[in-house]
Amino acid sequence: MKELTINISRDFNKYLGGREKKIADFSGEAFREKYLDEGFDAYDRITIELDGVLGYPWDFLDEVFGTMARRHGPEKVRDKIKLVSLHSDHVVERILYIVEHSKKE
């Protein structure tokens, strides 16, 4: 099984921007393009470590996880992406809410 682990704070940034690259550095769009657009099909499992970030803007989360759910379907996103957080259960809950409420395009 081919796996990828991403620690957002270490591998991307601990200060996250909003939805689009044109509006903010370290945006959800930049994260999704860098790690998930190609990685989603290339890996069997993607583990995303969420701790160490100073807040998660809703727009960032929707751009990353909502877009993936709209493209691939919520079930496939839930099956492929493992969310890990020792300190931020509410972030995991927000992400799962976004995935569940994003309908496939």
Q: What is the pLDDT of residues 20-68, one digit of tens each?
A: 999 999 999 999 999 999 999 999 999 999 999 999 999 999 999 999 9
Domain boundaries defined on the chain: 3-100
**Which of 35, 93, 85 lies closest to 63, judged by CA?**
35
What pLDDT band is residue 105 in, cutting at 50, 70 and 90?
Answer: low
* Rounded Cα distance, 68 and 74, in Å: 8
Prediction pTM value? 0.94
Q: What are phi and psi of 59, to 5 degrees?
A: -60, -40
